[in-house]
Structure 1
Amino acid sequence: MFCREFIILCLIITTLSQPMYMYSRGQPRCYYGDRGSLTATCENATSGYFRATGYRFDNLDETVRCLHCNLDSVPTSAFDISGNHILNLDLQKSNITSMAPSSFVGLVYMETLNLAHNHIKNIVATTFRGIKKLIWLNLGYNEITILVRDGFSELGNLTTLYLNDNAIKNVDANAFNKLSALEELYLQNNFISSLDNVFFGLTSIKVIDMHNNSLLLLKPADINSTTVLDLNLAQNKLRSLDDGAISAPTLEALNVSSNEIETIKQGAFKGCKQLEYIDLENNKINQLNQYTFVRLYNLKLINLARNYLPVLQTSMFTHLPELRYLNVSYNRIKGLQRGGVLPLHNLHSLDLSHNQLKYLDYKSLFEHAPRLVLINLENNSLPCYIVEEMLEFFKEDNIEFSIDDKYGKINETCNATVVLRPDDVPDAETAKLEANTVETKSSSPNEYVMYSLIFILIGLVSVLFYLQYKIHMQLKFGHQDIAEVGLM
C-alpha cells in the first residue's frame, strides 16, 4: 500500500515539473522586448544558433541578452551576424566553457560584453579579435587560472576590465599589453601571489583592485604607475612594506588593511605625493618610524586601528600638515609621547578607543592639535579625576568627547587607581621604577572599610588597656586602705 502511494506521488511530482523543464529546455528563439527598449532576448540558444536564426538583428537591437542559454564552446565567428548593430552583448550565466579565436568577430559596433558567471578557464591571445570598439568587459565569476601574454591585446579602447572571483594564480608579463586606454582593473578574490611588473603599459590606469589575493611581497617595480588614483591591496599576505614598495605620484587612496604587515620601512611610500587616504587597519604593526609618512603633504586620513602600537608618538605625524582624521583604536597604547617640531594644526578627529590608557596629558595633546573637535576615549582605563578635569577644562569649547557610559556619573564604578603623571612616556628604567611607585588619588570602598576596621580595633584595644589600668589602680589603693584600718 505504501509503495503504491509513493509511486503515485513520484508521478505527480514528475508531471508538475514537466512544464518547467520544457520551458527551460524549449526551442531556441529570439524576440524583441517592449517597444522602445532596444533590447532583444534570445532563449535556450546554443553557440551555433545566432547565425542560423531567422530573427533579423537590426539597428533597434542595441542590446542582446541570453536567457537559459547553453553556449558551451563558442566557435570562431559565432556572432558574425549580417546587418547587426549590437552595442551590448550580455552572455552571463550561459554555460560557456571555452572561446575559440575570433569568437566575436562581426560585432564591429559592440561596446560592452558581459561574460560573468560562466565556466571559462582560459583566454587565448586572439579571442577578442575584431571587436576594437569594446570599452567594457566583464569576465568575473569564471574559472580562469592564468592570464597569458597579450590575452587582451586586441582591445585597445577597453576602459574597464573585470577579472574578479576567478581562480587566477599566475599573471604573465605583458598580460595587459596594449591596454593603453584601460582605467579600471578588478582582480579581487583570486590567488595571485606576485606581480612582477604586470601593470607595465597601463598608461591610463586609475583604479586597481586586488583585495583578497595571496600577495607576499611588493617589489619597487610592481607599483610604479604614474596615473593610478586608487589602489586596493587589502586582505593579502604582505608582511612588510619595504623602501620603494609603492611609488605612484598620482595615488590618492591606498588600502593595505587586513594583511600581516609588521614593519613599514622608511621610503615605503616614496613619491606618493598626492596620497590623501591610507588604510593600515588590522595588521601587526608595533612600531612606526618617525619618517614613515614623511613628505606625504596631502595626507588627510590615516587608519591604524587594530594593530599592536604600544604608544602614540605625535612625531610620527608631524610632517603631515593636512592630516585631519587619525584612527589608532584597538591597539595597545598606554601613553602619549609628544614630539616633533610642527603641530598638527588640521587634526579634527582622533580615535583612541579600545586601548590601555591610564593617563592622558590632554593639555599637551590639545596644544599639539589645537583644532581637535572630536576625540574617542571609549574602553580605556582612565581614572575618574582625569575625566572630570577634561570635562571641566573643555566645557566652554566646542569639543565632542566619546567616553564610556560609566563616566556619565563619576562614582565608584570608575577606575580610581591613578598612576603618576609623566611628562611623556618613560623609558624602560623609568617605567620599571614607576611600576613600583603608585600614587593614590582616591580610595576605593574596600579600602575605606579596611581603614575603618583598623581604627575601630585600635580604639577597642585602647579602651581595654584603659580599663585594665583602672582596675589595677583600684586594687592597689584598696589593699593600702585595708592595711591602715588594721593598724588603727
Structure 2
Amino acid sequence: TSLRQLRAVEINLFSLNRLPIGHLKSLQELNLSNNHIDSLKLPEYFSHLLFLQWLSLQANNISSISVGDLDALAGRNLTLVLSKNDIKYIEINALAGVYLQQLSLRYCFENTIIMQACLRNLSGSHVNSLVLGEYRNLDKLETFSKDLLDGLCHVRLQEITLNSFGDAFSDTNSLPTCLNNIPTLRLLNSYIDQVSPFPANSSIRHLELKNCKLKRVPAQSLSSLKELRVLRITRSSQKLTDFKVAFKGLQNLKTLDLSENSITSNLCWFCLMDEVPNLKSLNLSFNFLIELPPECSGHSKLEHLDFQHTRLSNPGKLSVFHCLSNLIYLDISYTNTDIMIECPFCGLDNLQVLKMAGNSFEDNQLVNHFKNLAKLQILDISSCRLQHISLSSMAHLHDLRELNVSHNKLLGLHSEISAHLHVLTILDFHSNQLATLMENDLKNLPSSLKYLDLSQNLFDCSCDHLNFLRWAKEHKALLQHAKNMVCHSPVDLKDVPLMSFDLTSCQVSTTTVAVSVSISLALALTLFLVYKYYFHLYYMMVLLSGDRLSSEKDNNYDAFVIYS
C-alpha cells in the first residue's frame, strides 16, 4: 500500500476496471502506456488515489473523451498523458470540474479538422499546461493555419508547448493572436527560421525556442515582449551562429539562455547592462567562441553566468569581470582558459560558486589566484593538470564547503592548506598521484569533512605507511568509492584493494621478538666477557700452546747422547 510508482506497460490490459490498484493509497505515478485500453472512463477506485500526480495512458486505443470520464479526478491537480491515441471526438465540458497540471495530446489527431474541433470543445476547462504537436518521425498534420489553435482562446492556460509541427510552421506569425495572452510559450523541434514582432500588449513572460532553424538571435523582434522574464533559444547547434546584444527596452528580462548553439560573439558587458538592465542569469554554454571585453565599468546585476564548453577569449590573460560584483555563480569549465595573471577573478567579491574544470594554470601551479574570493563556497578545479598547490592558495577561502581537485597530478594535500578550510564538508581528491597521507596531514583534516574521495590514486601499501593504512580502514564510512582505492606499490601488492590489506602482516609476533632479544643479549654478553678478559684468555692460550709444543719435541728424538 506504500507503493508510489507503478509501471504496467505492455501487459495487454484492455480495461481499467481489471487493474487491481484501489488499495494503493500512496500511489503518485501510474504508467499504463502501450496497452489496449479503449475507454477513458476512470473506475470509482481512482477517487481513493488521493496522492496521484501523474497518469499516462499513452499509446492506447482511446478515441473519445466524454463528460463524466474523469469525474473520479474531480478537484485534483495532476498530469494526464494521452499522446499517441487516435482521438476523434472530445465532448463539450468533458473536462469541466477537472484541474490538470498538464494535458499532453501529441500525435492524437488524424487531421487539422478533427484537431480544431476537439480543441474548441476544451473551452472552459482548467488546464495549466497543454502539450500539442507530433513526433519527429510520426506526423499526421500536413498544414498549420493560424485558426487551428483558435479553440484555445477560451481555455485557461498558463503554458502551451507546440512540439514538432513540421515545416508547415516556420514563422511565429502563424500563431493565433490569443496565444499572446498565455504567460509561457514553448516552441520545440520546429522549422521556425523567422520570428515576427509580437503584439505590443503581449502577456508572454517565458518564451522558449528549442531546436529550431534560426540563424541569429532575433533580438529586435523579441524586444516587443515587454513582459518577457525568461528567454531560451537552445539546441540550434547547426544553425544559430550570430548573437548581438540588440534588445531594446527589455526591462523585465531576468534569464537569457542561449546554450547549445554555434554562437561566435564579442560580448559587450555595457550593452547588456544598458539593454537588459535587470538580467540576472546568462547561459552561453556549449557554443563556439565568446570574446570577453577587458573594458568593464558600472555594476551589472548578473548573478549566474555559464560559459562551460565554450571557448573563451581573454579570461586568464586579462581581468574581464570587474563589473560583475553581484555574480554568485560562474562556470568556465572546459573553455580553453589558461590562467596567467595573478588576479583573474578580480571584481567577483560576492562569488560563491566557481567551476573551472578542464582549464590550466601557468606552470601547472595554483598560487594566489583566489585571494579576493572570500565568500567562495564551492570550487571545482578538476582536470587542470595541476602539479602543485601553494600553501597560501586557500588561505582566504574560509567559507569553502566543497573542493574538487580530482584528475590532476598532485602528490598530496599539505596539512597547512587544509588547516584553512574549517567548514569543508566535501573533498574530491580522486585520480591524482597520492601515495599516502602523513600523520600530520591526517591530523589536520577538517573535522567538518563528511565526504572524502581518495580513489584511483597511487597508494603505497608498504608497512612504512601503516598509520595511513590503519586510518583508512577506521574511516571507511568517510571515504567515498573506497572499493576503488587499490595499492600501486610494492609490486607484490599491486592492484590489491587497500581495504583488503592485512595490517597484521606489518606486525612481528611476541615469540619472535623474545627469541631475537635473547639471542642478541647472549651475543652481547659473550662479546663483553671476551673483551674484558682478553689478556687472560690470550695468556692461557699461550701456555696451552707451549705445553703442546714441548710434548711434540719430546716425541721427535729416539736416542740421547750423554758426554761425561
Settle same-fold status: TM greater than 0.5.
yes
CA distance in 2, matches of 1:253, 1:172: 23
The 1:411/1:65 distance shift into structure 2, 3 A limit, reads: closer
Query: By how many angstroms is 1:311 displaced?
Result: 1.3
Q: Secondary structure at the match of 2:203?
A: coil
The answer to whether the Cα contact below 8 Å between 1:358 and 1:381 also exists between their aligned partners in 2 is yes
Q: Deviations over 1:2-39 (max 9, x none)?
A: xxxxxxxxxxxxxxxxx9xxxx9x99988655333577
2:233 is matched with 163
Specify which of 329, 346, 352 is matched with residue 429 of structure 2. 352
Query: By how many angstroms is 1:409 displaced?
Result: 12
2:329 is matched with 253
2:304 is matched with 230
Matches within 5 A, 1:351-430: 351-358=428-435, 360-363=437-440, 366-367=443-444, 372=449, 374-378=451-455, 379-382=457-460, 384-385=462-463, 387-391=465-469, 400-401=478-479, 405-406=485-486, 412-413=492-493
Are 2:219 and 1:219 equivalent residues in the alignment? no
Query: By how many angstroms is 1:117 displaced?
Result: 1.4
CA distance in 1, matches of 2:476, 2:470: 13
Are 2:280 and 1:206 equivalent residues in the alignment? yes
Specify which of 26, 31, 36 is matched with residue 97 of structure 2. 36
CA distance in 2, matches of 1:164, 1:360: 46
Q: Secondary structure at the match of 2:302?
A: coil
Specify which of 237, 252, 265 is matched with residue 194 of structure 1. 265
The 1:264/1:236 distance shift into structure 2, 3 A limit, reads: farther
The 1:54/1:280 distance shift into structure 2, 3 A limit, reads: closer
The answer to whether the Cα contact below 8 Å between 2:454 and 2:485 also exists between their aligned partners in 1 is no
Specify which of 305, 313, 338 is matched with residue 262 of structure 1. 338
1:153 is matched with 223
CA distance in 1, matches of 2:104, 2:435: 68
The answer to whether the Cα contact below 8 Å between 1:104 and 1:129 also exists between their aligned partners in 2 is no
1:291 is matched with 368
Q: Secondary structure at the match of 2:264?
A: coil
Give the unaligned 5+ runs of structure 1. Answer: 1-18, 416-441, 443-483
Query: By how many angstroms is 1:131 displaced?
Result: 4.9
The 1:358/1:236 distance shift into structure 2, 3 A limit, reads: same
Q: Secondary structure at the match of 1:194?
A: strand
The answer to whether the Cα contact below 8 Å between 2:210 and 2:233 also exists between their aligned partners in 1 is yes
Query: By how many angstroms is 1:343 displaced?
Result: 2.9
The 1:409/1:323 distance shift into structure 2, 3 A limit, reads: same
CA distance in 2, matches of 1:263, 1:214: 20
CA distance in 2, matches of 1:231, 1:216: 13
Are 2:214 and 1:144 equivalent residues in the alignment? yes
2:250 is matched with 179
Query: By how many angstroms is 1:139 displaced?
Result: 0.8
Kindly indicate whether structure 1 or structure 2 has the higher relative contact order, using CA contacts under 8 Å at least 6 residues apart. 1
CA distance in 2, matches of 1:313, 1:266: 13
The 1:215/1:157 distance shift into structure 2, 3 A limit, reads: same
The answer to whether the Cα contact below 8 Å between 1:384 and 1:414 also exists between their aligned partners in 2 is no
The answer to whether the Cα contact below 8 Å between 2:90 and 2:121 also exists between their aligned partners in 1 is no
The 1:196/1:44 distance shift into structure 2, 3 A limit, reads: farther
1:13 is matched with none
CA distance in 1, matches of 2:250, 2:126: 28
Q: Deviations over 1:72-94 (max 9, x none)?
A: 6766x987789746534432222
The answer to whether the Cα contact below 8 Å between 1:299 and 1:320 also exists between their aligned partners in 2 is yes
The answer to whether the Cα contact below 8 Å between 2:153 and 2:178 also exists between their aligned partners in 1 is no
Query: By how many angstroms is 1:288 displaced?
Result: 4.9
Query: By how many angstroms is 1:313 displaced?
Result: 2.0
The answer to whether the Cα contact below 8 Å between 1:108 and 1:130 also exists between their aligned partners in 2 is no
Q: RMSD of aligned C-alpha atoms?
A: 4.7
Matched letter for residue 319 of structure 2: G
Matched letter for residue 188 of structure 1: S
1:310 is matched with 387
CA distance in 1, matches of 2:110, 2:251: 37
Q: Secondary structure at the match of 2:276?
A: coil
The 1:132/1:349 distance shift into structure 2, 3 A limit, reads: same
The answer to whether the Cα contact below 8 Å between 2:112 and 2:148 also exists between their aligned partners in 1 is no
The answer to whether the Cα contact below 8 Å between 2:458 and 2:487 also exists between their aligned partners in 1 is no
TM-score by length of 1: 0.65
TM-score by length of 2: 0.57
The answer to whether the Cα contact below 8 Å between 2:385 and 2:409 also exists between their aligned partners in 1 is yes
Are 2:404 and 1:330 equivalent residues in the alignment? no
Return the index of the structure with the highest Cα Rg: 2
CA distance in 2, matches of 1:223, 1:384: 58
CA distance in 2, matches of 1:345, 1:409: 33
CA distance in 2, matches of 1:386, 1:279: 37
Matched letter for residue 293 of structure 2: K
CA distance in 2, matches of 1:292, 1:223: 22
The 1:36/1:208 distance shift into structure 2, 3 A limit, reads: farther
1:321 is matched with 398
Specify which of 313, 316, 319 is matched with residue 244 of structure 1. 319
The 1:397/1:365 distance shift into structure 2, 3 A limit, reads: closer
The answer to whether the Cα contact below 8 Å between 2:266 and 2:290 also exists between their aligned partners in 1 is no
Query: By how many angstroms is 1:405 displaced?
Result: 4.5
Q: Secondary structure at the match of 1:132?
A: coil
The 1:365/1:256 distance shift into structure 2, 3 A limit, reads: farther
